[in-house]
Structure 1
C-alpha cells in the first residue's frame, strides 16, 4: 500500500506520541521522521509507515535509534529491511555511494581509469550487497574487478594491490552472528581506510542524498564489471606460498572453515606448500550463512566451543593439529594435543598464544637463514601480549607495539616503516600476516605457517603446547583474558559512555590487591602517575583506549569500546618474571587466581559506573 500525505501525517503523529510515551527514544523518532518525509528514503517510506501502524516500537527503536557508524572494521550491524541503524540496501548503498563519490573527487581530473575490487562471503545477502556495490561503482564510472563466488578477505586485499585499484569493498561481518552483515572499505594500499580518507568518506556517506545504481548485468555487458576470480585464486596462492619455509611436511591436518569461505584459500595454499594430509572437517564444510553446525551458530575461532567436536574427531583419527578460520578467512584458531600423544588430551591456543608461537617460528626461521637485522621489525597492537615484544627482542629485531586496535594500523605501520623490513604482524583477536602481498590479516597464510610449525614439532617429538611452555620459561609466564561487556541499544550506548568516563575521571585505585600506578588515556594522549597526579604526553596514537598499569610490571588492564559491536572490551594482562615461571603449574595457578580477582574487580567497577 502506498501512503498518501495525509496517511504520513497520521503516522508522524503516532511517532510523536510514541516518543512522548517512552516507546521510542528521541533519536529513533527523529530518524524515523527523516525516513518518512525525505525524498532520499522514499523507497522505504511505506515499510517504515507499516511498522509504525503495527506499533512495532521495539523493532523501530532498534533500527533507528542511531545512524550505523564506521568502526575499526567498516560499517557492520544487524540486517533489517529498514532503519538507519541496520544493514540494508540503503545503508549499504550509502556506504558504496560515499566511497564512489570520494574516489572520483579525490582523483579529480586524473586521466587514470578508476577501479574497485569487490568480494563477498557466505553470509545471507552478501552476494546481493556485492552486486549493489558493484552497480553503484559502475554508475560512477569506476570499473569493478569482481570476485564472483565466496572468497576470503585477504584475497580482496591482495586483489586491490594486484589490480592497482583505487579502492576495495569486502561484504562480510567476519565472525558476527548470522543476523549480521557489513562492508569493509579498502583504500588503494589494500588496507582498510585510514585518516584522512576515512573521515572524508564518512562525511559523504552521511550526507548521501541519491544512490545511483547501474544494473549489474548492464555493467557486465558494458565492461564496467570484470570477473577476476580465477586470476586472483592462482596469483594469491602463488604469492602467499612464497612466504613458506622449507622443512618437514609429515603432519596430519584437520581444517575447518566454520561454514565460511576459507577452503578456497587454505586448501590450495597448503597443497602448494607440500602438505598432502589435509582434511576439511565435514560438518563445517557447507557454505552457509546460518553457520548450522557450530555452537550458538557463531563461527568465531576465538570460541573454544567450536573446537569441541573437531577435537573428538581428531583424537579418534590421528590428526596432529586442528586449524579453524572464521567466515571470511582472515582469522585463525588452533587446537593441538597437549603432548605428542594425539589420542590424549587436547587444548586450544588463544590469539595471543598463536601470535607468540608464530612470531618465534618465523623469527627463528629467518634467523637461521641469516635474513634478520636490527632494522627488521614485527608489529602488534597495544592490547596484544607483550610476550611478542620479548620474543622479537630475543632475536634482535624491533617491535612496533604501540598501535591502536585494528589491523589497518598494522598495515599503515608496514608502509610507514618500510615493507621490506617487515617480518610479522599480529593482534590478539587472532589476526596474523607475513609478507608484502596484502595489507590485512590473512588466515590462509597463518594456516600455512602453523602447519609448517606443527610438522617441525612432530618431527622433534614436541607438542605445540610444550613449545609455548618453553617460551614462557624463557620470557616469563604471560596470561591474558578478554572480558566483553555487552551494552545493546540506545541505553547501552549511554552506559558505555558513562563507564569510559568513569575510567578517566575516577579510575579504580587498586585491582586484585595491586595498586594502579599509572593511567594511560589514548583519547587525551596523557599518561598520569596515580601517586603524584603528574601527567606526561603520550603522543600518537590517539583513540578511545584506556590502559591501567598496575604496580607489578607486566600487569595491566585495557578498556575500549568495540568499533564493530555494542560492547566494551576489557583486556586483562598478567605476567610473572622468568625466575617465577620455571614451575609452569605453579605459575599458571598464581596467574589464574590473579586474573579471576582482576575480572571480579573490573566487573564490579563496571556495574557501579555504567
Structure 2
C-alpha cells in the first residue's frame, strides 16, 4: 500500500523537495482541518510532482504590503485556493470578534464590506468570504459587480463597517489572485492588527461557511452596489478643481474594472470627449490584449498600441488603470501636436505632476495653509518634498512602502489638513472619502491638468520640465531582481545580508557614502565603518546614499511578489539642469551605470 509520508521522506533524501515544504505537506496529510485536500496531495505525491509540491508548500503565504497574494492552485499553503482564502477570512473574522469583545464592543452589530474584480475565481472567492463572515456573525455589504479597490475602501467607511475584504491581485499576472484586508478606517490592515490576524489565520482549524444563497435570502448579505456607487461618485467628484475641460482623452482599463469608476467620474467633472480603448475594454482575467498578459500601468509596453491609436486620432492624453483601478499610468505627446512623439510618465513623475497641480490649485483657491501636509513613502521621489517646500506645506516622507502607511498618517495628522498623498508605484489620493489610492480620482485630476495645460498651450512634458528647472532634474528607476520559489527566498536573504555586511563601495563611479539600515536601525559611514542610531520605521529596507547629494539606492524585498526591488534615485542641482537634454542624458547614463553595478553585485552575492 502506498505510504505518502514515506514517499516524501525519500524525496527529501534525494533532494527533490525542501524541508520546509515537507513540514507543510505533512500537516495537510495528517491534520483534520486539511482532510478535504488530502486525496489531491496524495495524488501529487504518487505522480512525483515534487517541483509543484515544493512551489505550493515551501512556505505559508503571509500578509504583505497588499494582503495575502499569490498564484492560484487547488492545494498548497503557498497558493491561493479555497483553504488559504478561507483561512484568511476566518482569521479576520475571529480577530475582529475577539478584538471587539476585548474592547467592550457589541459583536451582534459587526459588519464587513466585500468587493471583487475581474480576475479568475474572484466571484467564487467573494462568495466564500461572504459566507465565512456571515457564519461568524457579521452582516456583509456586498458590491455585487466588478468594482474598484478604492470603492471598497470607501464602502467600509460609508457603511461604517468593522472591516472589509477586496478580492483582487491588483496588477499581478493572470495566474494570481488575493485578498486585501481592510480595517474600519478603510485602510488596509496595519500593525499590530496584521500580525495578530496572521496568527489567527495560521492557527485556524475550522472554517465555518454559511451557503451564499442562504446568506443573501436571510438578509445577512445585503447588495449595496447602486447605493455605494452614487455615494462614492458624490464624494469623489467633490475633489475636482475648477478649470477648462477641453481635452480629448483615451482611457484604457487594461481589461479590469476601471471603466465603471473612471467614466462616470470624468463625466461628472465635465469631460465629454472620452473614448475607451477598444482592445482593452473587455473585462477579462486573462488580460488578453496587453503585452505578456500583465495589466500593469507601470509597464511602458502596455501603452505602445494605445499610443499608435492616439497619435492617429488626435488625442491629448492617455490614461490607464490597473485591473482593480487603484493605480494610474499616463502617456502624453511631447508637444501640443498629438501626431508627434509621445512618452509615458513613471510613477514618480505622475506623483510630482499631481503634487504641483493640487498645491497650485489649492493656493489659487485660498484653501492651503502652512499647516497642510502631503505624504510620500521613503522610496518615492524627493521632488515631491521640494514642491511641498515651495508651497510652504509639510511633507511627511519617512514612510514604509505601502499605501496603508499613508492612510495611517492621514488619521494621525488629521484628515482636514491632508492635501495629497502618493507612492512611486503609481498610487495617488486626495480628500477624506477613502483611505487607499484611487486610480479613478487620479484620472480626474490628470484630465483637469491636461485641459488646463492645453488652454495655456503647454504640453504636460513641458510642465514637468519646468519643475526640473526649478527644483533640479530628478530621474528614477526601479530594478526588479526576480527570485522564484524556496531557492529564491534564500537568495533574497543572502543578497539583503550582503547589502548590510559588505555593501558595494561605489556605484556608477560614485562612492557609496552611507548605509541606512531600517532593519537594525543604524546609519553606517561606509568609509569609517562608524555606526549611528537611525530614527525611522523598522523594516527590511536598506538605503545606500552616494557621495553626490540626492543620489541613492533603496533595496527591499517585495511584500507581494518573489523579488527584491531596487529603487534608484538620481538628481542634479537646478544650476546643472538648465540644459534639460544634457541633464537627462547625464542622469540616464548614471542610472544605467548604477543598474549595471547593482546587477553584478546581486549576481555575485545571491
**TM-score normalised per structure 1:** 0.98
> SS at 1:379's partner residue?
strand
Alignment partner, residue 79 of structure 1: 72
Question: Displacement of 1:533 after TM fit?
Answer: 2.6
Q: Deviations over 1:382-441 (max 9, x none)?
A: 000000100010011010000010000000011111111000000000000000001000
Structure 2 Cα separation of the partners of residues 110 and 334 of structure 1: 45
Matches within 5 A, 1:141-540: 141-540=137-536
Q: Deviations over 1:248-287 (max 9, x none)?
A: 0011010000000000100000000000011111110000
Q: Which moved further from structure 2: 525-534 or 154-163?
A: 525-534
Asked whether 1:53 is paired with 2:49, we answer no
Alignment partner, residue 558 of structure 1: 554
Alignment partner, residue 43 of structure 1: 36
Structure 2 Cα separation of the partners of residues 29 and 73 of structure 1: 27
Structure 2 Cα separation of the partners of residues 126 and 171 of structure 1: 6
Structure 1 Cα separation of the partners of residues 301 and 177 of structure 2: 23
Which ranges of structure 2 fall in alignment gaps of 5 or more residues? none
> SS at 1:265's partner residue?
helix
Structure 2 Cα separation of the partners of residues 221 and 540 of structure 1: 50
Q: 2:20 aligns with which of 21, 24, 27?
A: 27
Alignment partner, residue 63 of structure 2: 70
Structure 1 Cα separation of the partners of residues 431 and 39 of structure 2: 51
> SS at 1:327's partner residue?
coil
Alignment partner, residue 110 of structure 1: 105
Question: Displacement of 1:500 after TM fit?
Answer: 0.3
Question: Displacement of 1:575 after TM fit?
Answer: 0.2
Structure 1 Cα separation of the partners of residues 412 and 534 of structure 2: 19
Asked whether 1:93 is paired with 2:80, we answer no
Structure 1 Cα separation of the partners of residues 309 and 588 of structure 2: 29
Structure 2 Cα separation of the partners of residues 373 and 219 of structure 1: 49
Question: Displacement of 1:537 after TM fit?
Answer: 1.9
Structure 2 Cα separation of the partners of residues 483 and 139 of structure 1: 44
Structure 2 Cα separation of the partners of residues 523 and 378 of structure 1: 26
Structure 1 Cα separation of the partners of residues 31 and 529 of structure 2: 52
Aligned pairs, how many?
603
Structure 1 Cα separation of the partners of residues 342 and 536 of structure 2: 41
> SS at 2:543's partner residue?
strand
Question: Displacement of 1:222 after TM fit?
Answer: 1.4
Structure 2 Cα separation of the partners of residues 335 and 93 of structure 1: 40
Matches within 5 A, 1:560-575: 560-575=556-571
Question: Displacement of 1:311 after TM fit?
Answer: 0.5
Structure 1 Cα separation of the partners of residues 601 and 305 of structure 2: 37
> SS at 1:254's partner residue?
strand
> SS at 2:556's partner residue?
strand
Which ranges of structure 1 fall in alignment gaps of 5 or more residues? 1-5
> SS at 1:149's partner residue?
strand
Q: Which moved further from structure 2: 346-355 or 101-110?
A: 101-110
**TM-score normalised per structure 2:** 0.99
Question: Displacement of 1:137 after TM fit?
Answer: 0.2
Q: Deviations over 1:211-243 (max 9, x none)?
A: 000000111111110001001111111100000
Structure 1 Cα separation of the partners of residues 134 and 348 of structure 2: 42
> SS at 1:571's partner residue?
strand
Structure 2 Cα separation of the partners of residues 412 and 292 of structure 1: 37
Question: Displacement of 1:369 after TM fit?
Answer: 0.8
Question: Displacement of 1:339 after TM fit?
Answer: 0.2
Question: Displacement of 1:536 after TM fit?
Answer: 2.2
